[in-house]
Amino acid sequence: MGRIGEKFRQLREKGEKALVAYIVAGDPSLEITKEIILGFKDAGVDIIELGVPFSDPTADGPVIQVASGRALEQGTDLVSILDMVESVNKSADIPIVLFGYYNPIFAYGNKRFAQRARASGVDGILVVDLPPEESRELRKYTDQADIGFISLLAPTTSSERIRKISEEATGFLYYVSITGVTGTKKPRVSDIRDEMKRVRRITEMPVVVGFGISTPGQAGEIAPYADGIVVGSAFVHMIEEHAGDSNMVNIVSDYAKEIKTAIHKGRNL
Amino acid sequence: MKTQLPDREGHFGVFGGRYAAETLMPAIIELEEAYKEIKKDKTFAKEYASYLRDYSGRETPLYFAERLTEKLGGAKIYLKREDLNHTGSHKINNTLGQALLARRMGKRKIIAETGAGQHGVATATVAALFGMECKIFMGREDIERQSPNVFRMKILGAEVVPVISGTDTLKDAMNEAMRYWVSHVKDTYYVIGTTAGPHPYPVMVRNFQSVIGREVKRQILKKEGRLPDVLIACIGGGSNAMGLFYPFRNDVDVVMTGVEAGGRGIATGMHAASIAEGKVGVLHGNKTYLLQDEKGQVRDTCSIAAGLDYPGVGPEHSYLHSIGRAGYVTVDDREATDAFLFLSEYEGIIPAMESAHAVAYAMKLAPTMSREKVIVINLSGRGDKDAGIIAEKLEVK
């Protein structure tokens, strides 16, 4: 199953949990996005989730909405993102998942996208508005290209539906820890503990938890119950705040390091 | 056309469907189940019909516009007077149905998006009627240009939430309503106002609105002894048009024409004509014709009519267009404004700026048809809310 599967296998062997870091591609520019990815890798980030900006990000909170707007103003598009991913893959070995909405992919062409993404070394995709009911038209091509189809689970998802989704998903599952949009509410640890028990009974696939996790403390508390933690809006917000600083990449990577350390400490709780 | 559409997953041919995040899917499925139940339920049908009759004042008249007909010198023109509904537009047909459904589902809080404010007012109204909490999402630009409706919603006890993102219009209001719904999905019902959104909204809204076409059919047979030659309705998301067209879908001799907003002119690129100028894409839970750039980013739209200022269109319209059963044309801001004034002056009926688009197309079409022919225009709403815009345009003091 490629680099994603290999990553989780290694982590499980060591009894460790993944840090998945989300940033918006092209905010503030694709050159800097590349630097951040390389910085993340050195900081111990396990998987990169690269937001593909869309004009109408209905699952995202204000932080990622404005970051997507900035990226689009820079002229960021699917092709330039894939070029950047290809260039990252020449200098570093870290699994990369594209996270976005369906329309930019559909407009580019599903088949063409799958081929191009494969050639660039994309490991997986998470298309927010493509539930299993509608995913066949894209997966027809991405499955063939061996690109993981990462699926969301929500607190409201029934056990029957979790079974169906996990049977069809490839790569890993992404448990949305709050009923809400990205980077808004704070998840309750006890809820996540119970929910992850429910998910675990149904599937053995790796499950990461995200939406609303922003601090090392939260990450450390939640990590024991999952295979990994996703942090997004917190990084995106830092990038916005330090956009002009020459050491922005270091600041963001240092924060990733802190979170990774907290996850590591929390693992045996 | 005899096959039952949409299919079980909500597809009209390649259009429609359920392109929604997993955070919403369980709520959408719950809604679909509940809707299936009430569709079979005679008590619900009775209750709904009684509210349409006693609360909204249905049936609405089918009015022969004699002076308009004479002035244009061609086909006979009838107006389906949806503007005479309680709250002043066809939107109440749908909000009554959905609020009754929400009540069945035990949801006490309802939310809605609105462009012109007609759907917002109709939702705020039913919230007051059934004692529900109500939040209306409305783009900042629309709040400014449709202020009379904003006051009405507030008087009715709704909270109007200004949306400041994108172009501050209907699309952005819908984005924000969806985000709010995701965050409050357990106790909140989202009343979508048009035949768009994820399945089952397009089919549900169509069915609630199709009372319009069913009445027209009955009324025109009584008045003319035959079906009309042409049906005309304006299209934003397309709920009033779908409501008029649907009962006539198998009457193949009846021409059905939807009128999209041409804004400042198709050539300027500043319009909201999704079918005329869009490509197939995915937004707000369904696949449909969408105004977008070559990268798949949704384009800004522009129309004098806030209710038509939307980059997508209901998926069933995309389907009717693709099979050629309905035709779609555009009317620009200037033509709509002229029609607004024309109908006001010759018939004493001030149409909503949205409905004025349908009138404008009829004004072009009628003179080309013979006097025996019959046109029915869906006069979907009244235009009090637009008096300010027109006054500004004409510098009426």
Given an 8 Å threshold on Cβ–Cβ distance, is A157 in contact with B26? yes
Tens of pLDDT, residue by residue over A151-203, are 999 999 999 999 999 999 999 999 999 888 888 888 999 999 999 999 999 99
- Closest partner residue to A181 (CB to CB) among B20, B182, B290 is B182
Whether pLDDT at B364 is above 50: yes
* ipTM for the predicted complex: 0.95
User: In this structure, which long-range contacts are made by residues B176-181, counting pairs with CB atoms below 8 Å and at least 24 apart in sequence?
Assistant: B176/B113, B176/B137, B177/B111, B177/B112, B177/B113, B177/B137, B178/A58, B178/B24, B178/B284, B179/A58, B179/A59, B179/A60, B179/A61, B179/A181, B180/B111, B180/B135, B180/B137, B181/B24, B181/B27, B181/B111
Q: Which residues of A are catalytic?
A: 49, 60
CA-derived radius of gyration, chain A: 17
Mean pLDDT of A53-62: 95
Q: How far is CA B303 from the centre of its chain?
A: 15
Residue A223 pLDDT class (50, 70, 90 cuts): very high
pLDDT score recorded for residue A48: 98
Asked whether the beta carbons of B389 and B116 are under 8 A apart, the reply is no
Q: Strands across the sheet with B133-139, in order?
A: B159-163, B133-139, B109-114, B188-190
Asked if residue B1 has pLDDT above 80, the reply is no
Provide the b/e sequence for A82-114 (b: ≥16 CB within 10 Å).
bebbebbbeeeebbbbbbbbbbbbbbbebeebb
Do residues A106 and B19 touch, judged by C-beta distance below 8 A?
no
Q: Summarize pLDDT for B259-282 with one digit per residue, the tens.
A: 999 999 999 999 999 999 999 999
Please state, in angstroms and rounded to a whole number, the distance separating the CA atoms of residues B293 and A104.
10
Task: Please indicate if any CB of chain A lies within 8 Å of the CB of B297.
Answer: yes
Does the pLDDT of residue B393 top 90, yes or no?
no
Task: Spell out the residues 6+ positions from residue A31 whose beta carbon is closer than 8 angstroms to its own.
Answer: none
Separation between Cα atoms, residue B181 and residue B27, nearest integer Å: 9
- C-alpha distances (whole Å) from A213 to each of A176, A186, B110 are 10, 7, 29
Token pair 């009684």 is at which residue? B50
As a whole number of angstroms, the distance between CA B303 and CA B116 comes to: 11
- Alpha-carbon distance A106 to A97, whole Å? 17
User: Of B148, B139, B97, nearest to B118 (Cα)?
Assistant: B148
Q: What is the pLDDT of residue B243?
A: 98
For residue A269, is pLDDT > 70? no
Supply the pLDDT for residue B3. 64
pLDDT above 70 as % of chain B:
99
Report which of B217, B219, B189 is spatially closest to residue B204, judged by C-alpha positions: B189
pLDDT exceeds cutoff 70 at B9: yes
How far is C-alpha B251 from the geometric centre of its chain's CA atoms?
22
pLDDT digits 0-9 by tens, A239-248: 999 998 999 9
Q: Distance (Å, rounded) from C-alpha B114 to C-alpha B122?
A: 10
Q: Is B274 helix (H, G, I), strand (E, B) or coil?
A: helix
Of B268, B110, B117, the C-alpha closest to B177 is B110
Over residues B200-208, the mean pLDDT reads: 98
**Strand-strand pairing, A228-231 and A18-24:** parallel
pLDDT computed for residue B191 by the predictor = 98
DSSP lists the bridge partners of residue A161 as none
Q: Are B211 and B58 in contact (CB under 8 A)?
A: yes
Instruction: Tally the C-alpha atoms within 13 A of residue B273's C-alpha that lie toward its C-beta.
Output: 24
d(CA A79, CA A86): 11
Q: Where are the beta strands (DSSP E) in chain B?
A: 11-12, 15-19, 62-64, 76-81, 109-114, 133-139, 159-163, 188-190, 230-235, 255-261, 279-283, 285-290, 326-331, 374-379
Q: What is the gyration radius of the CA atoms in chain B, in angstroms? A: 19
Question: What is the residue-averaged pLDDT of chain B?
Answer: 96
Residues B303/B271, Cβ–Cβ less than 8 Å: yes
Q: Does any CB of chain A come closer than 8 Å to the CB of residue B20?
A: yes
Instruction: Spell out which residues of chain B touch residue A101, defining contact as CB-CB under 8 Å.
Output: 282
- pLDDT tens for residues A69-123? 999 999 999 999 999 999 999 999 999 999 999 999 999 999 999 999 999 999 9
Instruction: Say yes or no to pLDDT of B167 above 90.
Output: no
B7 touches chain A (CB under 8 A): no
Looking at residue B397, what is its pLDDT? 46
| Beta carbons within 8 Å of A82's beta carbon, 6+ residues apart | A116, A117, A120, A122
Mean pLDDT (whole number) for A23-35:
98
Cα–Cα dist B278/B291, whole Å: 4
Residue of B nearest to A58 (CA): B175
pLDDT for the residue numbered B2 = 52
Alpha helices in chain A (DSSP H): 2-14, 30-43, 62-73, 78-91, 102-108, 110-120, 136-142, 159-168, 189-202, 216-222, 233-241, 248-266
| Numbered residues of chain A with Cβ closer than 8 Å to any chain B Cβ | 54-61, 65, 72, 77-78, 101-108, 128-131, 133-134, 151-154, 156-158, 161, 165, 176, 179-181, 184-185
Burial state string for A219-239 with b = 16 or more CB within 10 A and e = fewer than 16: bbbbbebbbbbbbbbbbbbbb
Q: Are B329 and B261 in contact (CB under 8 A)?
A: no
Residues of B in contact with A58 (CB under 8 A): 21, 175, 178-179, 182, 284
- Return the sign of the alpha-carbon dihedral for residues A233, A236, A240, A246: positive
pLDDT score, position A124: 98
Considering CB atoms only, which of B19, B22, B292 is closest to A154?
B22
A2-23 average pLDDT score: 96
Does any CB of chain A come closer than 8 Å to the CB of residue B193? no
Per-residue pLDDT tens over the stretch B117-147: 999 999 999 999 999 999 999 999 899 989 9
Structure tokens at B323: 């099979």
**What predicted TM-score, i.e. pTM, was given to this entire model?**
0.96
- What's the mean pLDDT in B146-166? 94
If we measure between CA atoms, which residue out of B237, B246, B239 comes closest to residue B216? B246
* Cβ atoms within 10 Å, residue B208: 24
DSSP B188: E
Instruction: Check: CB of residue B240 under 8 Å from CB of residue B282.
Output: no
A180, closest residue in chain B (CA to CA): B183
Report the alpha-carbon distance of residue B163 to residue B177 in Å, rounded: 9
